[in-house]
Structure 1
């Protein structure tokens, strides 16, 4: 199907073209015509270049999946203006620079996947304002710096954290912190969590997966 044919679907609300070999200017064609889209999945393709500004035409967009393409440049600030977004998956590209503070404007966001890019800098405090957030993935980036207890204070719905293979430091009290969430998955390989064993893990009653290798822990394992 040629891109111009897709552009004639002016009432289209869901478009899933996951796992093809799409490239070229498809994004520009869609953003000009299919303004009613609520879900766009272009993951696992060969799209490249910058994420185009024209995507702002999708003002009803709740799900944007650009996972595993060849997008470069920085994550654009303008994505923070897509207020209805609940799923934003940009993992496994070649995106660079810091995480924009405007991600904190996406008050409906439930899933944020920025893993396996070339991002640097710190985790912006504005992400801690995303009270609907259930999953956050920032693994395999050059992110660094502390994440303090106050960052998590409003994230009571959080279920999955993946921050392995970064230089992030979980700066919380290993013995007195009681998180506001119940996690099912924790990925913190190669993140600084020691030297004391993080006793806050004992508050997590729903864990199904726990990855904490190479975390700098030098302590007796608790009973």
Structure 2
């Protein structure tokens, strides 16, 4: 991966020289293919990861073809302070709101949340949900959905008001997300809308990375104490 940071430091300033922006459409097509496949195939765990795997493949090719890929997706060392402040604040706000929604609103809607005790996240050893592990996972997810997918949709010329909802819906309807969190996967829609809006506004990928990490820590900590 070429991490050269020569020239302008604004991701929008280098977008005109960007190659292979259309690779961002690959995970979109893969998601559509998944939902158009037979239900027996959709139930296969490996097949559920097809959109994500195609996205990381596309991201790898795009990174190879473009100089300064980290700059283009908004990962810049001098933006760490703003990334931490906005990210922590957003995560601290969204985490409790989502906990409140799951524990109070979901039962009122006639649904249940106790199935979460049977998800892979609840069954893995506790050390696998340590903050640094969650940070790594959140980084990979945000590199995909916000940094690569959303960033490239904007680079293709889509207005923020269209690109952000598209990326949020792809995030929420990721097959593994839907299979794991069932009806609660809709929570990821407003998470994606908030994180995506902050990303395109601040042009700083650290914001959604940190927000994602903090929110998961809050959700996991509270829900584990409730369910276990």
Q: Is the structural similarity TM-score above 0.5?
A: no
TM range (shorter): under 0.3
Provide TM-score, normalisation by structure 2: 0.22
Provide TM-score, normalisation by structure 1: 0.23
- Bigger CA radius of gyration: 1
Is the helix fraction higher in 1 or 2?
Answer: 2
